[in-house]
């Protein structure tokens, strides 16, 4: 009996759920929202970590699931191995069963053996198990309990129970926390069953298929181990591996998890997987050639297509930072393999999405429901990278040739950086290409070039660290409850000036006086420092004269920022200018009151506008999810007094109708004057359980965390936020969206205004509409239809004008050269007008007349245009393609171009060379047709 992958997954889950009382817990997302230490969810236990740590309890003590995992960055990174062997993957599933203080070693071992040999019928003589042999340095005894369970609760050959060292058989969550011995189950797939000595030896013929971890210790910060009050079981089985075993294959890529994807890739290229290594073999998918770069490319693309599909479904988007950068590297790695080794032109990964969804959708419904979103995201990213991929590969080849000519073996760091900065090639992709070419990359030079680039592009900033380095000057923020305080202490001042290079500098001083630009640091302040997207407050810091040391002064605050002054040290700085007198630091010198105290007052009207925009931003975030879908996540924001700007994940323009609906929903909440509740200190673990709570992806939140709740039950919005907010939505007044645009691949930006600014904007728009109505001599409500009618008339006039050159060209064309081909005549000739529409229309006419190929050239006014057409019938002969034809000739007229295999075009700057280009086109075609 050969089981398909869905059967295997279901049988595992049902074995524990139906027969062993386990609760099925759905896979957690690949985006580990509750664990900022992880790039991606990389093991089944991630979502149960807090249970093991004793931080939470669930309403079950036994669990089973199949967890989605990605290992492509950080500590667990299999990216570079993928494609070069038969079993490493960036995306994989981890089958697992867990016990939280319930059953332990005896049951876990007995059930694992029963499933493998009783249900799935694996050959017992081919299975080996390892148990922890102990570690004297740690004071750990051998795991005799596990060994005894294998001997007494199963019928395994006792000689197949092998000791394992701490490296292989003692599992730890991290440097601290729950840990314990583990027992691994290995299968021998050697031809003669001689694999005993290959257990844990790194040989693909004897591999681990299941790891049973028994957590019974806790490792403290000092490294000491103590017994846990409760013991747990955490098992993990690689789904792809067990499918390989149960389907009697030698490669994961030969299972029904991958074969349909590889077969789909084969429809996009002339290459075939396994064609070289599998000659004469019954199953070409199961005979892997590790040295065949074509087969490597198939495996890379098949693996990466799965990763991209699942990661995007779970909300990870390609970008230049963090998880997004890892995903972008994966996509570009797959694109490069497809283009360079399989000859696939244009976007192709998007073509694999439906195959992946068809294979995995039964178990993971999110890839079905988000199929369109996944495909659109992948296609947009492929198109973007495709524009520079060919040129990047060409540049790499040029540089590798130069390296070889120079008898060297290293590509310079400057070239590697140029590939990254100009063509979007991650440096690790350049390293892979270099390794394939047998050369190296100067990484030190690359890092230097990167550092120089960052320095050049660094925004001019004040060198606060020079003034306050090493100073511990914490400031208490009291601005949530008050906009003005008295008797704040001046902890320090600094005068800002310019250094010899004209760059901003700062120096700590005992005081700052009228006319000085400077910095003031207080012990407590109502001024909010710029962070979390909200701009800093402005206002006034004033100091009264005391007739002794304190002459009195006024400091106008123009910005409030948090500045780093040393490793781990951040101070809150008030930036501004002294407009009256002098500001002196606090010094206790016996006088009463002591000098250096000030009154700090925030610009209240400006703060109110900021709070309108901040609370409005939360409502906008809510409404966007309601209208566009739950995939919406915040990608950045700016909250200023005059506007709010909100960036969010969405890979297509928001329609006018959708924007209107979002705006309407926000204003309905404003008119409802709903309460804004601020919970200042909520334990982070508790806060994450608030229904619908939102956190900014990648943001690190304190514990406890501040939570902003809008509305009553059910809540309209719940977000982690440290910013300043209104107490009721009605105080926003109104919200008006003024623009929506794209700022990056898969990221949109909305700019909106609130309060009086929103009302003034709407009045201004009404004035414009009425003025347009007057100009068009229509009613305001008829303006859109009048403009539409005028646009239609203009379009028809332009169409008629364009048709004239085409008609002229049709009368004038006569081929200069006619060649024969198996599919029909191939024509080369000249048109009078270099008009792309006319030339493509001529291609259509000649094809209808029976031409199999056509090369047209036209020139005037210093402009040259070339167009090549190859029919499907001629293309099928394999003799020529339009894009290759055009590329072979375009350089002669000083230009370049490209296109599809059936239609391509190019432009040039040398009209005098057109006759030479047409001659070359004829010669190239004659040679191709042979």
d(CA 236, CA 231): 17
* Cβ 359 vs Cβ 263: under 8 Å: no
Place 77 in a pLDDT band, splitting at 50, 70 and 90: low
Whether the pLDDT of residue 300 is over 90: the answer is: yes
C-alpha to C-alpha distance for 582 and 575, rounded to whole angstroms: 15
Which region among 139-143, 335-339, 666-670 has the lowest average model confidence (pLDDT)? 335-339
Q: Give 811's DSSP letter.
A: H
Q: What does the DSSP 8-state code read for residue 258?
A: T
152-166, 411-425, 858-872: segment of lowest average pLDDT: 411-425
For 239-294, how does the pLDDT look when each residue is reduced to its tens digit (9 = 90+)?
Answer: 999 999 999 998 999 999 999 999 999 999 888 898 755 445 557 888 766 778 88
Q: E strand or H helix at 434, and its extent?
A: helix 427-436
364 Cβ contact partners less than 8 Å away, ≥ 6 residues apart: 27, 68, 310, 313
> What does the alpha-carbon distance between residue 783 and residue 775 come to, in Å, rounded to a whole number?
10
One-character DSSP codes across 623-690: HHHHHH-TT--EEEEEE-SS-EEEEEE-SSPPPHHHHHHHHHHHHHHHHTT-BEEEEEEE-HHHHTTS
Write down the pLDDT at residue 55: 76
What's the CA gap between 261 and 338, in Å, rounded? Answer: 14
Q: At what angle do helices 413-423 and 371-405 cross, to 10 degrees?
A: 150
- Give me the residue label for tokens 């290594």: 277
As given in the structure block, the two tokens for residue 331 are 């996509």
What residues pair up with 601 in beta bridges, in sequence order?
A: 484, 540
pLDDT at residue number 498? 53
Tell whether omega for the bond before 187 is within 30 degrees of 0, i.e. cis.
no
Give the whole-number percent of the chain exceeding pLDDT 70.
86
Burial of 781 (0-12, 13-18, 19+ CB in 10 A): exposed
The three-state secondary structure class of 565 is: strand
- What does the pLDDT look like over 708-729, one tens digit per residue? 999 987 788 999 998 999 999 9
Return d(Cα 354, Cα 335) in angstroms, integer.
18
Length of the chain: 930
Query: How far, in Å, CA of 333 to CA of 81, rounded?
Result: 13
Q: What does the pLDDT average to over 443-464?
A: 62
pLDDT, position 53:
75
Beta partners for residue 559, in sequence order: 575
For CA atoms 135, 141, 145, 150, the dihedral sign is positive
Distance, CA of 573 to CA of 518 (rounded, Å): 10
- The answer to whether 862 and 911 are in contact (CB under 8 A) is yes
In order of 133, 171, 172, 220, 276, the CA distances from 224 in angstroms are 19, 15, 13, 5, 55
Q: Is 221 helix (H, G, I), strand (E, B) or coil?
A: coil
| CB-count burial class (<10 Å; 0-12, 13-18, 19+) for 433 | buried
* Confidence band for 501, pLDDT divided at 50, 70 and 90: low
Q: What is the DSSP letter of 728?
A: B
Mean pLDDT throughout 491-498?
79
Q: Tens digits of per-residue pLDDT, 727-771?
A: 999 999 999 999 998 877 678 899 999 999 999 999 998 999 999
For residue 638, whether the previous peptide bond is cis, meaning omega lies within 30 degrees of 0, is: no
| Under 8 Å between Cβ of 312 and 375 | no
Residue 234 confidence (pLDDT): 95
Exposed, middle or buried, 523 (CB in 10 Å: 0-12/13-18/19+)?
middle
- How many other CB atoms sit within 10 Å of the CB of residue 414? 14
Look over the chain and give the mean of its residue pLDDT values, rounded to a whole number.
85
Instruction: Report the pLDDT value the prediction gives residue 461, as an integer from 0 to 100.
Output: 39
Question: Could you give the C-alpha distances from 467 to 369, 505, 565, in angstroms and in order?
Answer: 56, 9, 8
Strand partners, 207: 187
pLDDT at 451 over 70: yes
Question: Taking the CA of residue 289 as centre, how many other CA atoms within 13 Å lie in the half-sphere pointing to its CB?
Answer: 17
Q: Rounded to an integer, what distance in angstroms lies between the CA atom of residue 442 and that of residue 362?
A: 47
Distance CA 656, CA 679 (A): 36
Structure tokens at 22: 């386990």
Q: For the residues 536-558, what does the mean pLDDT come to?
A: 86
Strand partners, 97: 64
CA 150 to mean position of chain CA atoms: 45
pLDDT number for residue 870: 93
Query: Region 48-65: what's the mean pLDDT?
Result: 85
pLDDT digits 0-9 by tens, 122-151: 999 999 999 999 999 888 999 999 999 999
| Between 74 and 327, the higher pLDDT residue | 327
Backbone angles phi, psi at 864, to 5 degrees: -125, 140
Instruction: Reply yes or no: is the peptide bond before residue 593 cis, omega within 30 of 0.
Output: yes
Maximum distance among all alpha carbons in the chain?
107
Residues 146-162, mean pLDDT to the nearest whole number: 97
Beta carbons of 542 and 556 less than 8 angstroms apart: no
Tell me the DSSP string of 328-390: HHHHHHHHHHHHHHS---S--GGGGHHHHHHHHTTT-THHHHTHHHHHHHHHHHHHHHHHHHH
Q: How many CB atoms are located within 10 Å of the residue 856 CB?
A: 27
* pLDDT tier at 568, thresholds 50, 70, 90: very low
Say what the pLDDT of residue 928 is.
92
Per-residue pLDDT band at 918 (split at 50, 70, 90)? very high
Q: Which of 85, 110, 112, 76 is nearest to 96 (CA)?
A: 112
Q: What are residue 563's phi and psi, to 5 degrees?
A: -125, 135
Q: How far apart are CA 120 and CA 124, in angstroms?
A: 11
Across 71-76, average pLDDT = 62
Residue with token string 């394992």: 164
Mode of pairing for the β-strands spanning 553-566 and 826-830: unpaired
**Intra-chain end-to-end CA distance of the chain, in Å:** 54
Report field, pTM of the whole predicted structure over 0.85: no
Give the pLDDT band (50/70/90) at residue 699: low
Integer Cα distance of 99 and 557 in angstroms:
59
């Amino acid at each position: 009996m050969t089981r398909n992958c869905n059967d295997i997954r279901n049988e595992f889950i049902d074995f524990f759920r139906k027969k062993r009382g386990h609760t099925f817990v759905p896979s957690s997302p690949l985006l580990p929202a509750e664990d900022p230490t992880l790039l991606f969810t990389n093991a089944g236990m991630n979502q149960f970590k807090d249970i093991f740590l004793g931080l939470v309890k669930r309403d079950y003590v036994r669990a089973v699931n199949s967890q989605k995992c990605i290992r492509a960055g950080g500590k667990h990174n299999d990216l570079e191995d993928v494609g070069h062997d038969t079993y490493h993957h960036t995306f994989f599933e981890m089958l697992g069963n867990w016990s939280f203080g319930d059953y332990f070693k005896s049951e876990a071992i007995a059930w694992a053996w029963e499933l493998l040999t009783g249900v799935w019928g694996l050959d017992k003589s081919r299975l080996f198990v390892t148990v922890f042999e102990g570690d004297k340095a740690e004071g750990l005894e051998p795991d005799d309990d596990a060994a005894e369970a294998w001997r007494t609760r199963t019928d395994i050959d006792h000689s197949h129970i092998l000791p394992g060292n701490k490296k292989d058989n003692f599992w730890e969550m991290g440097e601290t926390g729950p840990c314990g011995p583990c027992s691994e189950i290995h299968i021998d797939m050697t031809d003669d069953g001689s694999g005993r000595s290959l257990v844990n030896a790194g040989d693909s013929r004897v591999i681990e298929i299941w790891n049973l971890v028994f957590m019974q210790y806790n490792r403290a910060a000092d490294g000491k181990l103590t017994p846990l009050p409760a013991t747990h079981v955490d098992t993990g089985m690689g789904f792809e591996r067990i499918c390989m075993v149960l389907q009697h294959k030698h490669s994961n890529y030969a299972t029904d998890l991958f074969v349909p994807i590889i077969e789909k890739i084969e429809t996009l290229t002339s290459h075939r997987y396994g064609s070289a290594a599998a000659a004469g073999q019954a199953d070409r998918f199961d005979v892997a050639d590790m040295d065949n770069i074509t087969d490597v490319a198939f495996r890379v693309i098949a693996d990466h297509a799965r990763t991209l599909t699942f990661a995007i479904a779970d909300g990870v988007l390609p970008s230049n930072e963090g998880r997004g950068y890892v995903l972008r590297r994966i996509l570009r790695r797959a694109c490069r393999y497809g283009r360079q080794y399989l000859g696939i032109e244009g976007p192709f990964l998007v073509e694999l999405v439906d195959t992946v969804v068809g294979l995995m959708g039964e178990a993971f419904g999110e890839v079905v429901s988000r199929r369109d979103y996944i495909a659109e995201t992948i296609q947009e990213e492929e198109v973007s990278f495709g524009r520079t991929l060919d040129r990047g590969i060409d540049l790499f080849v040029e540089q590798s040739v130069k390296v070889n000519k120079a008898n060297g073996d290293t590509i310079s760091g400057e070239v590697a950086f140029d590939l990254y900065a100009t063509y979007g090639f991650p440096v690790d992709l350049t390293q892979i290409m270099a390794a394939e070419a047998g050369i190296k990359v100067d990484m030190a030079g690359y890092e230097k070039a990167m550092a120089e680039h960052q320095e050049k592009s660094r925004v001019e900033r004040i060198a606060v660290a020079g003034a306050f380095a090493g100073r511990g000057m914490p400031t208490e923020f009291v601005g949530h409850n008050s906009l003005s305080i008295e008797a704040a202490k001046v902890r320090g001042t600094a005068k800002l000036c310019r250094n010899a290079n004209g760059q901003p500098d700062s120096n700590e001083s005992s005081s700052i006086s009228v006319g000085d630009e400077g910095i003031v640091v207080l012990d407590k302040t109502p001024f909010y420092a710029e962070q979390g997207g909200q701009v800093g407050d402005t206002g006034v810091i004033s100091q009264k004269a005391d007739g002794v040391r304190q002459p009195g002064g006024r400091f106008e605050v123009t910005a409030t920022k948090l500045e780093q002054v040393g490793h781990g040290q951040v101070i809150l700085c008030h930036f501004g200018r002294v407009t009256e007198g002098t500001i002196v630091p606090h010094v206790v010198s016996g006088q009463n009151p002591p000098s250096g105290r000030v009154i700090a007052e925030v610009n209240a009207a400006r703060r109110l506008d900021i709070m309108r925009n901040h609370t409005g931003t939360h409502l906008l975030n809510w409404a966007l999810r309601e209208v566009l879908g739950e995939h919406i996540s915040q990608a950045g924001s700016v909250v200023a007094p005059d506007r709010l700007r909100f960036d969010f994940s969405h890979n297509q323009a928001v329609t006018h109708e959708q924007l209107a609906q979002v705006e309407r929903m926000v204003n309905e909440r404003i008119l409802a004057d709903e309460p804004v509740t601020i919970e200042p200190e909520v334990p982070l673990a508790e806060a994450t359980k608030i229904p619908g709570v939102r956190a900014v992806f990648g943001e690190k939140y304190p514990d406890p965390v501040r939570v902003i709740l809008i509305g009553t039950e059910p809540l309209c919005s719940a977000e982690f936020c440290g910013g300043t907010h209104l107490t009721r939505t009605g105080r926003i007044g109104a919200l008006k969206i003024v623009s929506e645009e794209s700022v990056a691949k898969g990221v949109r930006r909305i700019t909106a205004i609130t309060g009086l600014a929103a009302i003034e904007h709407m009045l201004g728009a009404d004035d414009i509409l009425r003025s347009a109505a007057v100009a068009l001599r229509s009613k305001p409500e008829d303006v859109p239809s009048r403009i539409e009618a005028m646009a239609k008339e203009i379009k028809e006039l332009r169409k008629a004008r364009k048709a004239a050159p085409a008609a002229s060209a049709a009368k004038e064309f006569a081929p200069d050269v006619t060649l024969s081909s198996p599919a029909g005549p191939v024509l080369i000739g000249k048109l009078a007008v270099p008009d792309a529409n006319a030339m493509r229309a001529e291609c259509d006419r000649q094809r209808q007349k029976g031409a199999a190929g056509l090369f047209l050239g036209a020139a005037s006014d210093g402009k040259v245009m070339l167009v090549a057409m190859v029919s499907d019938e001629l293309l099928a002969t394999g003799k020529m393609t339009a894009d290759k034809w055009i590329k072979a000739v375009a350089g002669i007229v000083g230009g370049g171009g490209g296109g599809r295999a059936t239609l391509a075009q190019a432009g040039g700057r040398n009209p005098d060379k057109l006759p030479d280009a047409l001659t070359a086109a004829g010669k190239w075609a004659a040679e191709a047709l042979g």
